[in-house]
Structure 1
């Protein structure tokens, strides 16, 4: 960058732990501004400025902001400073509210805690998004086959976010930025279609790596109850999907999981991890870096990334299991499903769903209400592509509600549903079911218990 004539580099969502790279930039006279939210080492990197609510000594109390939220706050501060200096005299002041939809996208897609200021930012951003004025978001919504309307967390987290990320995961990393910044509807349509196609390809790669990783872990017993974390690696696993796979395996085994794709040529692995509540994976990875087990590494409580030599992965696995063992004991003790209310299928109505929607947007630290159904039977179960199971849950009085359980056909939950088992206690969340013009709800199953086994 310096050789190409750059005098200033601004990093977003990275740089907080890149002390060595930024020290080199400083040594060659390249100014860097770091805008980040990741945990930092005690010694901040050499930079012109480090804007990070998780910087040691920062007392803002906004550590749950995503990098997009930090950028938005910085823009507001720059606007205020420019106004105070009279730089807007004779010209229109930028209305940064138009970019609140992107701040909301970042908060939701980076799975940040939706409380306090971050919740307000996200709520206002979804309001802006609901007008679908951003040509890129509007085109991507159409490419996904969804209709414009009031924006919800689901739009950002499950419809738009994965498609925007698909470019960086297995295609061209600039596609998402180009999509969100273009004012040309035709260009937006072209980019959206390309990202949608890449997302389909990403799903295929993800499914293949997930299958291989599950087989490898189960063959070695690395997921045993006495392990604190799972570290699994494979040659040439695509680095763009290892984070998603880690999340899938974390759901499966309810403990921190790191998935590493090893380059067969240079023997270097790039990995990504997802954690279980109560276990600070980012801190553990930072400790591994401090012990020189890693080439690079960092993250936050619920997610981490790292680079490691292939011949040190076994050491890393042992280190993390030891480092997280105490936290694992406490996390297991707290790992129960706490429901908000016991209802019967007759009460699972659209009116109930709409009433609770007033508490949205939902996310970490502000989860959707979790309901329990008692003594129900799964009827008309159907195994779907992707390992999902759809059925109808029938209560003792014959009332029923449509239900779905994701990616569980080969797990105890899916097997019980597919067997049409009765007398089940289920925990799950109500979701809108507006397919084909109907305005209903379905019960999204998250956990299952057979009271006869208690």
Structure 2
């Protein structure tokens, strides 16, 4: 490995073919040396550890995160003990409990955790998941009235509910007790009146665990339930470690920061998942044709999207039912249905993405706007969030995709943002200006409802409001490189060494490697807009590489040309095809030395 620094950027790249500057990920040299000596690491790995903010003495827990060392005290969460008392009392009284879950992976995982704890304690509880199309997100007065009429005596909301003021007020009016388990941001003074509200992001919670997904919060709740059950002398509490796979599903698929306790949940949960004891996850692995030990790739790209497909374009409760069932035949049936829905979702998503790109690039000056807002009739609301994320990756700025229902005279939109641009705050401001029927979110994602004739005014408002933030974000937009490698040096040993940093996600980015002055051999355009090629350089090595969804970008077009050296940056992935135990580079960016 060599030093690739330089005043103009890493390898001199001040502007890549995607418009980014490259820079070496910043790391303290003294801290790097201390990690080397205390942990016996190579310099590149020690440097990567230092660059991720891991202080001296913390490296051991980071490389081997354990629940014993990092599990928080449940009592540190506001209302956690109160929630445990209510739920255990309901168990003892055999009250009819309903879990009201969000329709995504985090909601399904959270619901399954509660179902499995109560089942282990001898009681089956029901699951209710609202339909994305007809009911929208979270609890509603109509849903609570329905549950009350059907005999519910206690409702536990998971991954939703903290901001459902109207629904919770209705529940109080009709005498339906509600416990809220959530993790979404809350504004000061907005806590609704419920039996208990457990949310590390409520303003008065001092747990310091605000980065947890709802499944992580629910897992801590199970520990509190065990403690409360033990206090009351109930039957021996279940071993929660068996359900760590569900906590990991929520943490990874909800793209939460994998630091501290949350990192331990993900790391230990993947180990449990690798035993494939959960019938639903095992069935989903089989239909996805996944192999090997569970990883963030399995969860984020193979299992998670299939679970989400039920809530996006199918029956919203399929994921929660799959993760909570112990019936192998039912699991196989549900997994097959979700797999088919996922295939349909991919096609719907591709159609909407193609139409959105055409619209953006055919409208004059659209790509220069601070925020891209694209709308069209009948775009499926179940895929607009995914498409917004794809557009953000392509144009590297906030993007909002709106599907318009002309019959109802409403557009439902979902947005994704660029680091440094607070989209949720801007959407909230648009709502306060009267431009939206509803809207909110957080810095990186937002949702909204709008009248179709107000979309042009909304677009102008957001572009003006976000212009300064976007300009700063664009100037700072860069690709951070962990190490410079050669084609010969990219081997299984290097990949294995850096895997000690896994699991990867927000707060712990997957290592990014750069290779300088490589030549492209045998480029091939693949179906789906992907590009595959072989990279060679002066080291004499050959490195297989693939660039996903880059075929029609400047970087992809350059990869399809043979001749002339380029710099590439990407992530190493294992390549076990036919037992070869090699690696390939998943290309993130390309720089042409003649154009940097």
- TM-score class, shorter-chain normalisation, is over 0.9
Structure 2 distance, partners of 1:245, 1:178, is 27
**Offset of residue 433 of structure 1:** 0.9
Structure 1 distance, partners of 2:203, 2:428, is 15
Counterpart check, 1:112 vs 2:259 = no
Instruction: Identify the range of structure 1 (54-63 vs 166-175) with the bigger mean alpha-carbon deviation.
Output: 54-63
1:311 maps to which of 453, 460, 463: 453
2:341 maps to which of 177, 195, 198: 198
Structure 1 distance, partners of 2:435, 2:154, is 32
**Offset of residue 421 of structure 1:** 4.3
Query: Which residue is equivalent to 1:181?
Result: 324
Query: Which residue is equivalent to 1:100?
Result: 244
1:446 maps to which of 588, 592, 595: 588
SS of residue matched to 1:122: helix
Query: Which residue is equivalent to 1:35?
Result: 181
Unaligned runs of 5+ in 2: 1-145
Q: Show the 5 A alignment for 1:46-61.
A: 46-61=193-208
Structure 1 distance, partners of 2:285, 2:461, is 44
1:307–1:111 CA distance, 2 compared to 1 (3 A): same
Structure 2 distance, partners of 1:292, 1:80, is 48
Q: Show the 5 A alignment for 1:198-347.
A: 198-221=341-364, 223-225=366-368, 227-347=369-489
1:65 maps to which of 181, 206, 212: 212
Counterpart check, 1:163 vs 2:289 = no
**Offset of residue 223 of structure 1:** 4.0
**Offset of residue 221 of structure 1:** 4.0
Does the Cα contact within 8 Å between 1:378 and 1:394 map onto a contact in 2? Answer: yes
Query: Which residue is equivalent to 1:142?
Result: 286
**Offset of residue 190 of structure 1:** 1.3
SS of residue matched to 1:346: coil
Give the TM-score, by structure 1 length.
0.95
SS of residue matched to 1:345: coil
**Offset of residue 224 of structure 1:** 2.7
Deviations 1:35-94 (A, max 9, x none): 2211223322333222111112322221111111111111212222222233x2xx2212
Query: Which residue is equivalent to 2:531?
Result: 389
Does the Cα contact within 8 Å between 2:410 and 2:452 map onto a contact in 1? Answer: yes
**Offset of residue 23 of structure 1:** 2.5
Structure 2 distance, partners of 1:169, 1:313, is 24
2:231 maps to which of 65, 81, 84: 84
SS of residue matched to 1:396: coil
Instruction: Identify the range of structure 1 (1-10 vs 211-220) with the bigger mean alpha-carbon deviation.
Output: 1-10
**Offset of residue 234 of structure 1:** 1.1
SS of residue matched to 1:287: helix
Does the Cα contact within 8 Å between 1:39 and 1:298 map onto a contact in 2? Answer: no
SS of residue matched to 1:16: coil
1:51–1:270 CA distance, 2 compared to 1 (3 A): same
Unaligned runs of 5+ in 1: none
Q: Show the 5 A alignment for 1:399-410.
A: 399-410=541-552
Structure 2 distance, partners of 1:59, 1:333, is 36
Structure 2 distance, partners of 1:15, 1:421, is 57
Structure 2 distance, partners of 1:58, 1:293, is 33
Structure 1 distance, partners of 2:360, 2:287, is 37
**Offset of residue 389 of structure 1:** 0.3
SS of residue matched to 2:568: strand
Query: Which residue is equivalent to 2:296?
Result: 153
1:282–1:222 CA distance, 2 compared to 1 (3 A): farther
RMSD, aligned CA:
1.6
**Offset of residue 34 of structure 1:** 2.0
Structure 1 distance, partners of 2:457, 2:150, is 40
**Offset of residue 222 of structure 1:** 6.0
**Offset of residue 26 of structure 1:** 2.6
Query: Which residue is equivalent to 2:150?
Result: 4
Deviations 1:171-199 (A, max 9, x none): 11111111111111111111111111111
Does the Cα contact within 8 Å between 1:17 and 1:41 map onto a contact in 2? Answer: no
1:333–1:141 CA distance, 2 compared to 1 (3 A): same
Does the Cα contact within 8 Å between 1:39 and 1:282 map onto a contact in 2? Answer: no
**Offset of residue 289 of structure 1:** 2.8
1:138–1:222 CA distance, 2 compared to 1 (3 A): farther
Which of the two has higher C-alpha Rg? 2
Structure 2 distance, partners of 1:221, 1:96, is 56
Structure 1 distance, partners of 2:250, 2:320, is 13
SS of residue matched to 1:224: helix
Deviations 1:413-441 (A, max 9, x none): 11001112421111111011112322110
Counterpart check, 1:124 vs 2:271 = no
SS of residue matched to 1:373: strand
Give the TM-score, by structure 2 length.
0.73
Does the Cα contact within 8 Å between 2:216 and 2:251 map onto a contact in 1? Answer: yes
**Offset of residue 298 of structure 1:** 2.6
Does the Cα contact within 8 Å between 1:223 and 1:253 map onto a contact in 2? Answer: no
